[in-house]
Amino acid sequence: MLSMNVEFGFLEGLVRGYKSEILKTTDYANLLQCDSLEDVKLHLSSTGYGDFLANEQPPLRTTTIREHMTQKLVDELHFMRVQAVEPLKQFFEYIRYSYMIDNIVLIISGTLHERSVQDLLQQCHPLGMFDSVAMAGLTIAKSISEVYRFVLVDTPLAPYFQDCLSEEDLDELNVEIIRSTLYRAYLEDFNRFCEKIGGSTWDIMQPILEFEADRRAINITINSFGQVLLLFAHCARELTRTNSTELSKDDRARLYPRLGKLYPEGHAALARADSQQQVRTIVDVHMQVSAQWHVCALFC
Amino acid sequence: YQRRVRGAGVGMGLCMSLSVLGASWGIWTVGTSILGAGVKAPRIRAKHIVSVVFCEAVAIYGIIMAILMRQRWERIDDLHPNRSDYLAGYVLFAGGLGAGLCNIFSGVCVGVAGSSAALGDAQNPKLFVRLIVVEIFGSALGLFGIIVGIVAITGVEFGTKVTHHNMMMT
């Protein structure tokens, strides 16, 4: 308390300022009145966004607007990352890892389908970009194991690969399984990090990470039932529609993160489940009432 | 002679240094919050200097007290040491320590309150006046400290003349 502002005082003031700029109900009501993209630009210029579209040529496109808004978010986050000290710096890195995982999976699946590297890099989420040295290695890599050996080993995500996958696995496995494996390692690592920090960080992050882990477990289970479903994605850029991932029950159990309200009894039950109805029963039993409300949204 | 004045000297030093410690602690706490909140709400930049002024006042209390203490031993009579000089030494030490500690906590209090005032004012301008009242009360704590200290100090003096009454007591 007495040293409250030494490390994080400036950032706290900054974050509160950012929070007060988030669009409110009145802003959305104004935006709903708009007739064209020019009106949207006009209304946004009176909010915290300001003149962020000032340099754009007249025929505005939605993709342009979205890119600029994402860029504003990335710039603000970058500013905070640069000002941060440990352990806040590491916390920001953990936030970026999830975007990095999405980008890596995008790159891997793009390499598999012989897409050009420039296209892939355009599509990557800016929050999850690696530095240019790593990116340069992408142009020469031809297969996934080469991508791993040249590019991914130098990134902070390398430990997540080492925990679970070998090079041969990378070439054979379905891309979604790679994503799930990486994400599991990432969630567990993040959980350990927040637990080590303790205090109010742990109090706030623990329910969030638990919910994320439970959501993943339920989604993996449902997707392995052989139904065509939208696999949820973090960034709206990438919507992947996958067929069943054809996971055996043991494989499925290996993909669940080892945390959350469903761990460990719920995971054991989910690994044996065969239908959506069974999953629903298991969830009802193991998760508390308030969490069920979130879960029901998943089933709809 | 030296033994008598030593406690007084330490008291004066403590008073000054602890007051400055409290004031600087408070200013750093307020300063970072004003800078952070001022990025997105520039109107608070000028108004919240008053919080810094309240913290600074704590340091000024300390220096006033220290100067008054120094004046207590200007007229020391070396040739006639006195029992009451020991009392003077102790009182000056205690007054300085007490006022210094009061000023530390007052400075920290004003700093923390001022930091919350800056953050709250950035969101809702109506909060400013209310939070300044909180800071005024915090600043009063330091004032209590030096009032007590000054009252104690003005009761003693080094080098009291040897009178018949004193001679009876020694």
CB contacts of B21 in chain A (<8 Å) are none
Which residues is B61 bridged to in the sheet? none
Facing residue for B40 by CB, picked from A5, A9, A17: A17
Query: Amino acid identity, residue B96?
Result: G
Task: At A206, list the tokens.
Answer: 């623990």
C-alpha B73/C-alpha B69 separation (Å) is: 8
Instruction: Say whether pLDDT at A82 is over 50.
Output: yes
Flag the least confident range among A82-91, A163-172, A223-232, B86-95.
Answer: A223-232
> Hey, what's the torsion of the CAs at B47, B51, B54, B59, to 10 degrees?
-120
C-alpha closest to that of B42 among B50, B30, B34, B32 = B34
Report pLDDT for B133.
94
Instruction: Say whether pLDDT at B22 is over 90.
Output: yes
B42 touches chain A (CB under 8 A): no
Flag the least confident range among A150-154, B120-124, B129-133, B154-158.
Answer: A150-154
B38 touches chain A (CB under 8 A): yes
Confidence class for position A37, pLDDT limits 50, 70, 90: confident
Report pLDDT for A271.
78
Q: Which residue of A has its CA nearest to B116?
A: A13
Q: Which DSSP string do the residues of A271-286 spell out, in sequence order? A: HT--SHHHHHHHHHHH
- Percent of chain A exceeding pLDDT 70 equals 79
By the 8 A CB rule, do A151 and A130 touch?
A: yes
Instruction: Say whether pLDDT at A131 is over 50.
Output: yes
Residue A152 DSSP code: G
Q: Which residue of B has its CA nearest to A1?
A: B112
B32–A5: do the CB atoms touch at under 8 Å?
yes
Tell me what the mean pLDDT of segment A154-182 comes to.
74
CB contacts of B39 in chain A (<8 Å) are 13-14, 17
Residue B130, phi then psi, degrees to nearest 5: -65, -40
Of A143-147, A222-226, B63-67, highest mean pLDDT: B63-67
Tell me what the mean pLDDT of segment A158-185 comes to.
75
C-alpha A206/C-alpha A191 separation (Å) is: 7
Report pLDDT for A290.
46
Report pLDDT for A176.
79
CB contacts of B119 in chain A (<8 Å) are 12-13, 16
CB contacts of A22 in chain B (<8 Å) are none
A10 touches chain B (CB under 8 A): yes
Tell me what the mean pLDDT of segment A210-239 comes to.
62
Facing residue for A11 by CB, picked from B34, B36, B108: B36
- Count other Cβ atoms within 10 Å, centred on residue A292: 13
Flag the least confident range among A31-40, A185-194, A228-237, A282-291.
Answer: A228-237
Instruction: Say whether pLDDT at B99 is over 80.
Output: yes
B37–A11: do the CB atoms touch at under 8 Å?
no
If you average pLDDT over every residue of chain A, what do you get? 77
Cα angle B70-B72-B78, degrees, rounded to a multiple of 5: 105
Q: How many CA atoms lie within 13 A of A128 on its CB side?
A: 24
B148 touches chain A (CB under 8 A): no
Distance between B26 CA and the closest CA of chain A, angstroms? 10
Chain centroid, CA A278 distance in Å = 28
- Give me the interface pTM, i.e. the ipTM: 0.78
B122–A4: do the CB atoms touch at under 8 Å?
no
- Tell me which of B34, B39, B55 to substitute to probe the interface with A (most A C-beta atoms closer than 10 Å): B39
C-alpha A200/C-alpha A59 separation (Å) is: 47
Report pLDDT for A243.
41
Task: At A187, list the tokens.
Answer: 């969630």
- Cβ neighbours of residue A77 under 8 Å, at least 6 residues apart? A92, A127
Instruction: Say whether pLDDT at A220 is over 70.
Output: yes
Instruction: Say whether pLDDT at A136 is over 70.
Output: no
CB contacts of A6 in chain B (<8 Å) are 28, 32
C-alpha closest to that of A257 among A244, A270, A272 = A270
CB contacts of B32 in chain A (<8 Å) are 5-6, 9-10, 13
By the 8 A CB rule, do A98 and A179 touch?
A: no
Report pLDDT for A234.
35
Flag the least confident range among A232-241, B3-12, B160-169.
Answer: A232-241
Residue A232 DSSP code: P
Burial of B12 (0-12, 13-18, 19+ CB in 10 A): buried
B104 touches chain A (CB under 8 A): no
Can you state the angle between helices A199-223 and A276-286, rounded to 10 degrees?
A: 160
B25 touches chain A (CB under 8 A): yes
Q: Which DSSP string do the residues of B26-48 spell out, in sequence order? A: HHHHHHHHHHHHHTT-TTHHHHT
Task: At A41, list the tokens.
Answer: 């630009």
The model's pLDDT over A264-283, given as tens digits with 9 standing for 90+, comes to 777 777 777 777 777 777 77
Residue A24, phi then psi, degrees to nearest 5: -105, -175
Rounded to whole angstroms, what are the CA distances from A185 to A256, B57, B152? Answer: 10, 54, 67
CB contacts of B38 in chain A (<8 Å) are 13
Cα angle A2-B111-B59, degrees, rounded to a multiple of 5: 110
Q: Where are the alpha helices (DSSP H) in chain A?
A: 9-20, 25-32, 37-45, 62-83, 88-112, 117-123, 132-138, 144-150, 158-164, 167-172, 175-197, 199-223, 249-255, 265-271, 276-286, 289-299
CB contacts of A4 in chain B (<8 Å) are 29, 112, 115
Q: Which residue of B has its CA nearest to A18?
A: B40
Flag the least confident range among A41-50, A159-168, B56-65, B159-168.
Answer: B159-168
Report pLDDT for B80.
61
Q: How many CA atoms lie within 13 A of A81 on its CB side?
A: 14
Rounded to whole angstroms, what are the CA distances from A138 to A103, A167, A174, A181, B18? Answer: 13, 17, 20, 22, 60
The model's pLDDT over B136-164, given as tens digits with 9 standing for 90+, comes to 999 999 999 999 999 998 888 776 554 55
A16 touches chain B (CB under 8 A): yes
Residue A126: cis peptide before it, omega within 30 degrees of 0:
no
